[in-house]
Amino acid sequence: MAKTNGRQSKGSAPITDTTRVIGVEAGRLPPQAIDLEEAVLGAIMLEKEAIYEVIEFLKPECFYKEAHAKIYQAIIDLSSREEPIDLKTVPHELRRKEALEEVGGAYYIAQLTNRVMSSAHVEFHARIIFQKYIQRELIRVSTGVLERAFDDSTDVEELLNTSEQAIFEISQGSIKKDVQPINLLLKNALANIAEAGKREGTLIGVPSGFTKLDRLTAGWQPTDLVIIAARPSMGKTAFVLSMARNIAVDCGQAVALFSLEMSSLQLATRMIISETELDSDKIRTGKLSSDDWNYLNTKIAALSEAPVYIDDTPALSVFEFRAKCRRLVQQCHIRIAIIDYLQLMTWAGDTRGNREQEVSNISRSLKAIAKELNIPIIALSQLNRGVENRTGMQNKRPQLSDLRESGAIEQDADIVAFIHRPEYYGFIENDKGESLQGIAEIIIAKHRNGALDNIQLRFRHQFAKFVELETDSLSYDLGSTQTLQSKMNEDNLADETSGASFPEAVSTAPVETPF
């Protein structure tokens, strides 16, 4: 029987022997290619360069026959020590490991070279062996799932998670990218540059809707993992909701929002409040006049047609996220995915209670998913309490070491941005005596492919939304930054500056957002 029959995939539930299902009772043998296994081993021992054509993807466990797996392991060991691989050294290595007789002796190894007419097709033959191995792995995992599904004591949610993880690990192991020559890469890079030059403006990624942020990033870039971090009640959810609205309504690009903290209905209500700027108490209690209703329906007309997709699955696992994102990319053509927030995600693998390792696995997987699906992924993150323990306005500004639970977040992210509002800590004026009320900083603390900067926005806490600073508000000085007007928020600013009477004005006295 195949070597794989007793094994289990990391993170999956124990899998029983599959002989009953795919062997004797079923009357079928597992997928295999014994003749090609012999040919590949013989070719490697005849041609010294052959091992380098297959070693990148072909592993000992890919061989169906146990003896062949041991012979190939001996070949790998010789290669790792840069020793010759031939009919003399391979038996010697197996004898040293006391495994020569188990594989059939030196005579059997010598017979393998008789199966080879030429080593020219060794890679092609090896890939067939690898495909047979993937088929056996799928049968093994599926058989274990089948047996557990028949067990009434099985927890269905746990079975779904472990099954998805096992399939995910098989698929990850089967995806290999070939090395590409620099001339081809340069050709593709130049084509991308030429294509970017044809576009109006400088945005080449997904716009946030905030002018200076978009100029700094050129839009959120495909394959990037963006971490937006802040202390609780600083406005993380409000920021990504404002951004999702800009992307979907103003730019017509599809957005997926995964909310692990708030329900989809709560998010929809917040978006209505943000879009209409009606009193939140009125909307939550439904105490709206007929004029209010007419105004509300008019203002949310564009929002209701926007390509925004919200998923509020609690305790979402990274494997569920990957599957859902893949479907959304294929079916809804989403351009960006947002997670609120990272620390509420779960990892189905075995981390033995180590939360830091779990968060590390999650952040690393999110980066891999962004690359696989070729979209930017924005994940909100909490900061630890170190910020609270520091004194002074400048010291309250977050820094990379404040990221909560894992330094891997900083390592895996392409961009790390912090949301900082001085008034949250009671600072209402800067050193020049200028008001800081309603001022928010987006601090770009890490930017793998660009510059760092501090970007100022206005946070309108009564409506839980972020907008551009007004053009005459350049005097707000939290640092040497320049604020630029965004066309994407002209409607909001026009309402503000024209003194529009509908919605009712709300006091800006509270410092902490109620949402």
Structure tokens at 184: 């081809």
- Which residue did the predictor score with more confidence, 102 or 393? 102
Q: What average pLDDT score do residues 107-120 get?
A: 82
Span of 341-350, 422-431, 456-465, 486-495 with lowest mean pLDDT: 486-495
151 band by pLDDT with thresholds 50, 70 and 90: confident
**CA 198 to CA 483: how far, in whole Å?**
27
Could you tell me which residues are beta bridge partners of residue 443?
418, 454
d(CA 460, CA 220): 24
The side-by-side arrangement of strands in the sheet containing 308-311 is 308-311, 255-259, 336-340, 377-382, 225-230, 415-420, 439-447, 453-460, 465-467
pLDDT at 206 over 90: no
- Whether the predicted pLDDT of 241 surpasses 80: yes
Q: Is 35 exposed, middle or buried (0-12, 13-18, 19+ CB in 10 A)?
A: exposed
Report how far residue 53's alpha carbon sits from residue 365's, in angstroms, rounded to the nearest whole number. Answer: 29
Angle, helices 264-276 vs 236-245, to 10°: value is 70
Q: Of 82, 173, 64, which Cα lies nearest the Cα of 129? A: 64
Q: Which CATH superfamily is domain 215-498 in?
A: P-loop containing nucleotide triphosphate hydrolases (3.40.50.300)
Q: Is the pLDDT of residue 465 over 80?
A: yes
The per-residue pLDDT for 200 is 64
CB atoms within 10 A of CB 416: 25
Among 388, 390, 391, 369, CA closest to 378: 369
CA distance linking residue 311 with residue 290, whole number of Å: 32
Tell me what percent of the residues of the chain surpass a pLDDT of 70: 81
Q: How far apart are CA 435 and CA 431, in angstroms?
A: 10
Q: Which residues pair with 225 in a beta bridge?
A: 377
Q: pTM above 0.75?
A: no
The structural domains of the chain, with segments of one domain joined by +, span: 3-174, 215-498
> In the predicted model, what is the mean pLDDT of residues 44-69?
88
Q: Which tops the pLDDT comparison, 501 or 56?
A: 56
Other beta carbons within 10 angstroms of residue 309's beta carbon come to 18
Q: To which residue do tokens 């060794």 refer?
A: 122
Cα(13)–Cα(140) distance, integer angstroms: 12
More confident residue, 436 or 509: 436
Q: How far apart are CA 281 and CA 273, in angstroms?
A: 10
- What residues are paired with 429 via a beta bridge? 435
Q: Torsions phi, psi of 109, nearest 5?
A: -65, -40
Tokens for 479, please give them. Answer: 């640092």
In this prediction, residue 94 carries a pLDDT of 92
CA angle 472, 496, 505 (to 5 degrees): 130
- The yes-or-no verdict on residue 118 having pLDDT over 90 is no
Q: What's the rounded mean pLDDT across residues 156-178?
A: 70
Please list the active-site residues.
261
Polymer length in residues for the chain:
515
Q: Return the SS3 of 443.
A: strand
Provide CB contacts within 8 A for 481, sequence distance 6+. 212, 453, 454, 455, 456
d(C-alpha 499, C-alpha 51), whole Å = 75
CATH class (in words) of the domain with range 3-174: mainly alpha
Cis omega (within 30 of 0) for bond into 72: no
Task: Tell me the CA distances in angstroms from 435 to 428, 499, 508, one per residue in order.
Answer: 6, 21, 13
Q: Decide whether 3-174 matches 215-498 in CATH topology.
A: no
pLDDT confidence bin for 177, thresholds 50/70/90: low
- Residue 380's pLDDT band (cuts 50, 70, 90): very high
Burial degree of 298 (CB within 10 A; 0-12, 13-18, 19+):
exposed
| pLDDT level of residue 16 (50, 70, 90 thresholds) | very low
pLDDT the model gives residue 11: 40
pLDDT confidence of residue 18:
38
Quote the pLDDT of residue 6.
38
Backbone angles phi, psi at 116, to 5 degrees: -105, 125
Helices (H) and strands (E) in the chain, counts: 20, 9
Closest CA to 338 of 447, 446, 226: 226
394: three-class secondary structure by DSSP? helix
Average pLDDT estimate for 13-25: 40
The one-letter amino acid code at 335 reads R
Kindly state the average pLDDT of the residues 242-265. Answer: 89
- Is residue 210 pLDDT above 90, yes or no? no
Question: What are the residues whose beta carbons fall under 8 Å from the beta carbon of 62, sequence distance 6 or more?
Answer: 69, 129, 130, 132, 133
